[in-house]
Amino acid sequence: MSSPETPSPDRRAPGAGDGRTEPVPRPAEPAETPEEAARTGTLRMLVSNRVTAAGLLILVVVLLLAVLGRWIAPYGANDIDVVNALQPPSGAHLFGTDELGRDVFSRVVLSARISLTVGLVAVGIALVVGVALGLVAGFFGGWLDTVVMRSADVLFAFPILLLAMAIVAVLGPGLTTAMIAIGVVYTPIFARITRASTLAVREELYVTASRSIGASDGLILRRHVLPNIMGPITVQTSLSLAFAILSEAALSFLGLGVQPPEPSWGRMLYDAQAFIYDAWWMSVFPGLAIFCTVLAFNLVGDGMRDVLDPRQRTADEIRRSA
């Protein structure tokens, strides 16, 4: 005698047969990684600093002048109009004209590209060479450290501008020579900063652990040492850009940098020294351009130093949470 079948429970999904549809759950958005959160927090702190934000704004303006100068300048850099020579600032010539009737405003705008190019290339040379030497000296030590640091001491024995002038005197004046000379004199600075930071990082546990699993020295330098010393290097890069622009202006003012007919802020000051009492605008406006650009790089460098300093970051976070 067969037993009555026990009704099996309905295994259909809820609402499957009554015409109702269940909402499809949305996939969870990927969480922000610690590295992305750190970068976002650093950028937020950098922009929230009013002084640093002002420096960034000035740099944006200078970069726009350097990139869009040909469309912003109303005249060419070497458009000569002797009839209107040494004219004071007016509606036709916002910054006046020089001894050849060239528009000072146009020359200031067009000089931004050359001055920034010299600064960026020179600091780029110092950054690449100096960081490489500092990494090798700090990580391997021994005779390599001795050779690199003693060579840096020899270069540090000379004033920066005097050493740059000596290099230009040997290689000959010109734009390329100025970039090389400035790059050489700033290389020891990056080498010293990189070496000091590398000496601290190479003793960390993660470096020791990488060595224990057989990681090569090159891999350790790329993945562990270099990313952890980028803070002070980044700050020094911003500050060195300011001094590189000053150095280019000084070399051009002495006739050793940018050569005519190429315009640069330092070269404009060189041309204006004979008319400093009769045409003040020839020296004031390129001088203001140098001052504002150097000030902006210094402000950004100071802000980055405060943001990348763990003690300063902790203090700022405490003030915001209070």
Q: What is the tens place of the pLDDT at every residue in 112-165? A: 999 899 999 999 999 999 999 999 999 888 898 899 999 998 988 888 888 999
Distance CA 322, CA 231 (A): 27
Phi and psi of 103, rounded to 5°?
-70, 120
Q: 102-133 in b/e burial notation, b at 16+ Cβ within 10 A?
A: bbbbbbbbbbbbbbbebbebbbebbbebbbbb
Residue 133 is predicted with a pLDDT of: 93
Distance CA 318, CA 315 (A): 5
Helix (H) or strand (E) segment spanning residue 228: helix 226-228
C-alpha dihedral sign at 76, 252, 291, 236:
positive
Tens digits of residue pLDDT in 69-93: 999 999 999 999 999 999 999 988 9
Residue 1 is predicted with a pLDDT of: 45
Residue 2 is predicted with a pLDDT of: 47
Which parts of the chain sit beneath pLDDT 50?
1-2, 4, 6, 9-11, 13, 15, 17, 28, 314-315, 318
Residue 225 is predicted with a pLDDT of: 87
Give the DSSP letter of residue 237: H
Residue 139 is predicted with a pLDDT of: 87
- The reported pTM is 0.78
Which of 222, 223, 225, 219 is CA-nearest to residue 203? 225
Distance CA 88, CA 278 (A): 10
Distance CA 104, CA 91 (A): 13
